[in-house]
């Protein structure tokens, strides 16, 4: 019998703020007071400015305190926090904190709630119900349910998952694969990591459903090397799933086999591009492949392969559990379901906010994010990672919707929003976009390999010149962007022009260009 149950997150964000020391100090203080505490390690709720956020189990539900430092621990015990007592770090009932309460958590329903590596916890919180439904269906029927849900790829391209699965299902092959793209290279994004660290079984379940649907027997998770905690958590969860027969030669006694292996990247952004990722898994240098053939027809080792992002796959269990229609009823237009939005940069309350599509950028940045951390006005936001456009404050009423953002020359991508205040220099940001492309280009095609370096030089030329020369250099930069967009083989070279041209269009003054010039 314990005197109390406490949750201390083991998510990287919380660990970076001292969660491990806080857990040890809580344990030591409890022992000093002769209390038998059960300290459980959970994922993060995604309220990152409050980490380490410690929760205690009370009769009223879980009560949160944060951000907790070692120096606060004695006073927390003195305040009877084990029964939810009042303390200056008290945040009330966790589920009632507005930041959390106003979300629509479908994919992230268990993150921060569960012990990530306890399969019993997972099953007790509705885990593996999606797989149970899937195992009672035929492959084509599962694919139709996913198609009905409207789920689109959350890795960036927003391609409908159902169509991709159908192609892999119909492709001929003695061996098929499911590959999970966990490279998560976009700036300001961390939802994949949070799932892998906070609820790895939901990803494993999603991959298993994909495999059963298309007839694959082997899966791979391609994980970025910068995620050591996710790697450990996934390793532990895969081992448990194998032991409990959720993975292996006879998944849940169905007679169907599915296994998952982990592959760790070496730190190249391009290895997140799906065909470069396949090359990397095959042990080769990460270079982009020509398409066709599509990976769904001839992918890993030339075999039909479903490639999906972590969030895409982790959204599948709830779709199979509750039905495609249930999921489709969230969202707007062709953006159906929910999106785990990652809010970062110069913002007061950074974190993970899962909302149905349709919420506006302004609501996310002000109502959730509380505006800038610096207290200065928001000037620009970059949505969709390093290849996303910079949107000015005047465009913040745009809804989080693939089509609405694309119509404004932007990109929703993996759902990352990075906020900048009015001290940002957009000419430097434009130069940085080109520099990033030059650093990360795989080198296969000329517009990207050479154009990105020339792009940096031309931004420098704009900044160093005046009058007609400045105008000519700005024209040259636009021409170069057109060439890169039209002539690059993949979206690294093809989309780098987005942040550059958006800066030239909406922040002309930072280049010293007259307002009358319409880039």
Ligand X SMILES: Cc1cc2nc3c(=O)[nH]c(=O)nc-3n(C[C@H](O)[C@H](O)[C@H](O)COP(=O)(O)O)c2cc1C
From residue 419, alpha-carbon distances to 101, 327, 365, 392, 400 in Å are 23, 29, 8, 10, 15
Task: Work out whether 270 is an interface residue with ligand SF4 (CB under 6 A).
Answer: yes
Contact mark string toward ligand SF4, 285..304, x via CB under 6 A: ---x----------------
Task: Work out whether 233 is an interface residue with ligand X (CB under 6 A).
Answer: no
Least distance in angstroms from the C-beta of 130 to ligand X = 17
Nearer to ligand SF4, 100 or 268 (CB): 268
Coil, helix or strand at residue 154: coil
H or E segment to which residue 347 belongs = none
Task: Work out whether 498 is an interface residue with ligand SF4 (CB under 6 A).
Answer: no
Q: Is 434 exposed, middle or buried (0-12, 13-18, 19+ CB in 10 A)?
A: buried
272 binds, among ligand X, ligand SF4, none (CB under 5 to 8 A by kind): ligand X
CA gap 409, 341 in Å, rounded: 19
Least distance in angstroms from the C-beta of 66 to ligand SF4 = 41
449 binds, among ligand SF4, ligand X, none (CB under 5 to 8 A by kind): ligand SF4
444 binds, among ligand X, ligand SF4, none (CB under 5 to 8 A by kind): ligand SF4
Nearer to ligand SF4, 22 or 271 (CB): 271
Task: Work out whether 309 is an interface residue with ligand X (CB under 6 A).
Answer: yes
Task: Work out whether 61 is an interface residue with ligand SF4 (CB under 6 A).
Answer: no
191-198 and 200-214 are packed helices; what angle lies between their axes, rounded to 10 degrees? Answer: 100
426-440 and 497-506 are packed helices; what angle lies between their axes, rounded to 10 degrees? Answer: 170
Contact mark string toward ligand SF4, 450..469, x via CB under 6 A: --------------------
Touching ligand X, residues 476-505 (CB under 6 A) = 490-492
4 Cβ contact list (under 8 Å, min separation 6): 35, 37, 38, 56, 57, 82, 83
Task: Work out whether 279 is an interface residue with ligand X (CB under 6 A).
Answer: no
Task: Work out whether 445 is an interface residue with ligand SF4 (CB under 6 A).
Answer: yes
279 binds, among ligand X, ligand SF4, none (CB under 5 to 8 A by kind): none
Nearer to ligand X, 269 or 390 (CB): 269
Q: Which of 45, 154, 444, 508 binds ligand X (CB under 6 A)?
A: 154
Nearer to ligand SF4, 424 or 442 (CB): 442
Query: Regarding beta strands 351-356 and 335-336, do their DSSP bridges make them parallel or antiparallel, or are they unpaired?
Result: unpaired
Count Cα atoms within 13 angstroms, Cβ side, for 8: 22
Q: Is 277 exposed, middle or buried (0-12, 13-18, 19+ CB in 10 A)?
A: buried
Least distance in angstroms from the C-beta of 379 to ligand X = 27
CA gap 214, 178 in Å, rounded: 9
**C-beta of residue 206 within 8 angstroms of C-beta of residue 29:** no
Task: Work out whether 307 is an interface residue with ligand X (CB under 6 A).
Answer: yes
Least distance in angstroms from the C-beta of 493 to ligand X = 9
Tell me which residue has its CB nearest to ligand X.
Answer: 153
Q: Which of 149, 305, 308, 346 binds ligand X (CB under 6 A)?
A: 308
Task: Work out whether 8 is an interface residue with ligand SF4 (CB under 6 A).
Answer: no
Q: Which of 331, 493, 497, 499 binds ligand SF4 (CB under 6 A)?
A: 493
Tokens 């009877």 belong to residue: 80
Q: Which of 417, 442, 462, 481 binds ligand SF4 (CB under 6 A)?
A: 442
Q: What's the DSSP call for residue 267?
A: S
Task: Work out whether 443 is an interface residue with ligand SF4 (CB under 6 A).
Answer: yes
CA gap 208, 306 in Å, rounded: 12
**C-beta of residue 107 within 8 angstroms of C-beta of residue 318:** yes
Query: Regarding beta strands 54-58 and 4-9, do their DSSP bridges make them parallel or antiparallel, or are they unpaired?
Result: antiparallel
Q: Which of 26, 142, 448, 498 binds ligand SF4 (CB under 6 A)?
A: 448
CA gap 317, 132 in Å, rounded: 10
335 binds, among ligand X, ligand SF4, none (CB under 5 to 8 A by kind): none
Least distance in angstroms from the C-beta of 440 to ligand X = 7
489 binds, among ligand SF4, ligand X, none (CB under 5 to 8 A by kind): ligand SF4
Q: Which of 109, 490, 500, 503 binds ligand SF4 (CB under 6 A)?
A: 490
Task: Work out whether 492 is an interface residue with ligand SF4 (CB under 6 A).
Answer: yes
426-440 and 451-464 are packed helices; what angle lies between their axes, rounded to 10 degrees? Answer: 160
Report CA 122 to chain centroid distance, whole Å.
Answer: 21
Q: Which of 411, 413, 492 is nearest to 451 (CA)?
A: 492
Least distance in angstroms from the C-beta of 68 to ligand SF4 = 44
- Count the helices and strands in the chain (H runs, E runs): 23, 16
Q: Is 177 exposed, middle or buried (0-12, 13-18, 19+ CB in 10 A)?
A: buried
157 binds, among ligand X, ligand SF4, none (CB under 5 to 8 A by kind): ligand X
Task: Work out whether 268 is an interface residue with ligand SF4 (CB under 6 A).
Answer: no
312 binds, among ligand SF4, ligand X, none (CB under 5 to 8 A by kind): ligand X
Contact mark string toward ligand X, 164..183, x via CB under 6 A: -----------------x-x
Q: Is the peptide bond before 230 cis (omega within 30 degrees of 0)?
A: no
Strands (E), 145-238: 177-182, 218-223
Which tokens sit at 352? Answer: 């993970």
Task: Work out whether 156 is an interface residue with ligand X (CB under 6 A).
Answer: yes
* Contact residues: ligand X, CB under 6 A: 153-157, 159, 181, 183-185, 269-270, 272-274, 307-309, 312, 490-492
Instruction: List interacting residues with ligand SF4 (CB under 6 A).
Output: 270, 288, 441-445, 448-449, 488-490, 492-493
């Amino acid at each position: 019998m314990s005197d109390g149950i406490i949750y201390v997150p083991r998510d990287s964000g919380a660990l970076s703020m001292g969660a491990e020391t806080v857990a040890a100090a809580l344990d030591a203080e409890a022992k000093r007071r002769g209390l038998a505490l059960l300290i459980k390690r959970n994922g993060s709720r995604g309220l990152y400015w409050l980490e380490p956020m410690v929760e205690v189990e009370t009769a009223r539900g879980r009560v949160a305190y944060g951000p907790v430092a070692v120096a606060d621990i004695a006073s927390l015990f003195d305040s009877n926090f084990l029964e939810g007592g009042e303390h200056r770090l008290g945040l009330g009932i966790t589920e009632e904190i507005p930041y959390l309460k106003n979300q629509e958590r479908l994919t992230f329903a268990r993150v921060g709630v569960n012990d990530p590596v306890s399969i019993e916890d997972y099953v007790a919180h509705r885990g593996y119900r999606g797989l149970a439904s899937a195992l009672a269906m035929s492959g084509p029927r599962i694919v139709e349910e996913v198609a009905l849900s409207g789920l689109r790829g959350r890795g960036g391209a927003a391609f409908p998952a159902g169509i991709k699965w159908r192609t892999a299902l119909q492709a001929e092959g003695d061996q098929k694969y499911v590959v999970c793209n966990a490279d998560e290279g976009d700036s300001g994004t961390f939802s994949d990591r949070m799932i892998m660290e906070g609820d790895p079984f939901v990803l494993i379940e999603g991959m298993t459903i994909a495999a059963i649907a298309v007839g694959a027997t082997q899966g791979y998770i391609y994980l970025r090397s910068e995620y050591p905690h996710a790697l450990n958590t996934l390793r532990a969860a895969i081992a448990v799933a194998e032991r409990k027969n959720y993975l292996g030669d006879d998944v849940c006694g169905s007679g169907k086999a599915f296994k998952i292996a982990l592959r760790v990247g070496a730190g190249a952004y391009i290895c997140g591009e799906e065909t470069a990722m396949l090359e990397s898994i095959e042990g080769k240098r990460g270079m982009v492949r020509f398409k066709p053939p599509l990976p769904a027809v001839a992918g890993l080792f030339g075999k039909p392969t479903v490639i999906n992002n972590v969030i895409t796959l982790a959204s599948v269990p709830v779709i199979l559990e509750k039905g495609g229609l249930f999921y489709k009823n969230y969202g707007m237009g062709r953006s159906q379901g929910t999106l785990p939005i990652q809010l970062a940069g110069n913002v007061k309350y950074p974190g993970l906010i899962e909302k149905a599509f349709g919420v506006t950028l302004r609501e996310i940045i002000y109502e959730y994010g509380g505006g800038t951390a610096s207290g200065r006005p928001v000037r620009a936001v970059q949505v969709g990672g390093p290849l996303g456009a910079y949107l000015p404050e005047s465009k913040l009423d745009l809804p989080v919707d693939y089509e609405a953002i694309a119509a404004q020359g932007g990109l929703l991508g993996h759902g990352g929003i990075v906020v900048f205040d009015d001290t940002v220099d957009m000419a430097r940001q434009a130069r940085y976009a080109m520099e990033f492309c030059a650093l990360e280009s795989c080198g296969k095609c000329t517009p990207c390999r050479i154009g990105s370096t020339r792009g940096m030089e031309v931004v420098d030329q704009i900044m160093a010149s005046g009058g007609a020369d400045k105008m000519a250099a700005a024209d040259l930069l636009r021409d170069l962007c057109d060439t890169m967009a039209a002539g690059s083989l993949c979206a690294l070279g093809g989309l780098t022009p987005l942040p550059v041209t958006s800066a030239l269009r909406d922040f002309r003054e930072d280049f010293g260009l007259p307002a009358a010039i319409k880039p």
